[in-house]
Amino acid sequence: MITSREECNNIIVRLGAFHTEMSFLGSIGRIMSGSGLKEVLELIYAPNAVTHMIYGKAVSRAVRGFMLVDTALHTLMTNEIFGHDVSEEHENEINHTLSIEHPLIMEACEIYDRLQEEKISLEDALESQTLQAIQELLQKKQKEIKQSRTSKLWLCFLDMVAILKRFLIAERTGDWLLHLSTLKEMLPYLAASGHNLYTKSAYFYLSQMQNLESDHPDIHAHFMNDKHVVRRSDRFWAGLSTDLVIEQVLMRSVKSTGGLTRGRGMGEIQRALWLFSIPTLAEYNHAMQQLTGTGYKTSDQHIENSRTRMERDNKDSNLLTEFLTDRNPSTNDKTLRNIETGMVADNDANADEAKTVGDKIIESIAGNVISEISFKKKDQIVTLDAKRPSGSNIPQQPQVDPQLMFQRLTEVGQESLNNTAELFEYKLSSFPSSLFEANGFPKQASKATLADAIWNMGDCHAQELPETNIVPVIDGGSLLYRIPWIKGQTFFQICMQYKVHRSYKKMIFQPNDSHGWLQ
């Protein structure tokens, strides 16, 4: 519709790579929903942050978290193939010399050392018989464990993370052909997970880019010379997606103090004045830097290569490896299950067939007009935690996010009710969210605020003591830790441990203001 006008014939509409990456991260989270990935990530991130990671919103955290899980899974497979546990031997070391006596590993280490010393090229290293032999062993191992549906699902996760890595390489290095090939690899997973808009847009985008060399040879030549990304420096790994730069520069300034959304207004005059003044503001900024002798410069060392970041990554990787060792997806069990809870999926779940399901959807839209392409929910994958049909005899466990429920209730209450506290007069969850996390583990105690609240009320001593209806209140924050909590106990059993029989008619035990009242 855009290219139908003569003045727009030379305009090429591109797909935003950064937002496509966000959508693909959400596809990974959708496909792995109910598999135990969320519980694994909660070992190194807060539960609320993991929710945003699974949806593809917290991009940096999601990329790091998925890659750490990918590293842990490959570590487990390597340990099984070569019979050596590297994580236990060097748990807290970053740079160490491997003590594996397997000849392939020793030769691979030698190739790596020669590659670092620039005595061998990357192409020669990849074509070496040693690395090819290791690759064949890994492929053989993957073929063996694919007999289990759970293992097949997690191998699908490894494939998706590998695609994500190649896509990031394409954007950072400006590799145009790798950019197109990775987008093509993303298509089945986007379609299978229900990301229909990006499936349609990416499919149409790839179709147009196939004819770019013949229709616009000059632009194709620019893209082949890494001009499809924006660079703020001439470093090799410094490419930025165009839509990411728009978000970082234009949208950030629009939404900052003094921006269009902070009082200036969004009228046509305000927008034009704002956009045309940006080059002038850049000159002012440069002049101020020269006048004050200050400037914004980046370090030659990437933040990912700093010792602090490597120590943190090493610690988190070992933690994930230890956790997955006891919950290894590579088992002889052929069912599809959650590696953390052990919940077995019903017969309708087919998340482990995401690639096959997505390929069928892509084949169904081939040759159709873009405006007539439609997607059906029944063609998408069925995840492990999907709600079962109403006629099923299998008991259903509704998925409720307490944090999301709380946020929605407070938002509605602030607009509709004078007293928001009325919303919380009823039980909202099967466990007290003030005492326990969503995974069932007790929360860490925060500093008690009851005493401060009482003293801030003014004079706290009573002038006269009533003769009846006296209820002693004990602030027992320190007593909360006197009684050990046994793993697996219910909330009622834990409460009964704190029950005290004394000569009081009635007593309220208040462990902490943030943990509620126990009566």
What is the DSSP-derived secondary structure letter of residue 510?
E
Place of tokens 């090939």: 181
- The DSSP code for 230 is E
Tell me the pTM. Answer: 0.70
Count of CB atoms situated within 10 Å of the CB of 199: 26
211 and 182 in contact (C-beta within 8 Å)?
A: no
For position 184, what pLDDT does the model report? 95
Count of CB atoms situated within 10 Å of the CB of 298: 11
Distance from C-alpha of 422 to C-alpha of 417, rounded to nearest angstrom: 8
Residues of the chain falling short of pLDDT 70:
1-9, 84-101, 264, 296-302, 387-404, 426-434, 438-440, 444-455, 458-463, 465-466, 468, 470-482, 500-519
Secondary structure in 3-state letters for 88-117: HHCCCCCCCCCCCCCHHHHHHHHHHHHHHC
Residue 169: strand, helix, or coil: helix
Tell me the two tokens of residue 289.
């830097």
DSSP SS3 for 319: helix
pLDDT number for residue 343:
84
Within a 10 A sphere around the Cβ of 314, how many other Cβ atoms? 19
Side-chain-side CA neighbours of 23 within 13 Å: the count stands at 24
pLDDT of the residue at 514: 45
Burial zone of 447 (CB within 10 Å; 0-12 exposed, 13-18 middle, 19+ buried): exposed
Q: What is the pLDDT of residue 429?
A: 60
Predicted confidence at residue 501, as pLDDT, reads: 52
Give pLDDT, residue 370.
79
Tokens of 193: 């997970």
With H, G, I as helix, E, B as strand and everything else as coil, classify residue 436. Answer: strand
404, 428 Cβ separation under 8 angstroms: no
DSSP letters for 437-500: -TTSPBPPPPPP-HHHHHHHTS--S-SS--SS----EEE-TTGGGTSPPPTT--HHHHHHHT--
Reading the block at residue 388, the tokens are 């079962």
- Asked if residues 241 and 235 have their Cβ atoms less than 8 Å apart, the reply is no
Using left for φ > 0, alpha for ψ between -120 and 50, and beta otherwise, residue 458 falls in left
What is the per-residue pLDDT for 519? 44
Which one-letter DSSP state was computed for residue 365? H
Residue 466: the pLDDT is 67
Coil, strand or helix at 301: coil
Q: Residue 323 has which token pair?
A: 């956790």
Residues 300, 301, 302, 303, CA torsion sign: negative
Residues 6+ apart with CB under 8 A from 132: none
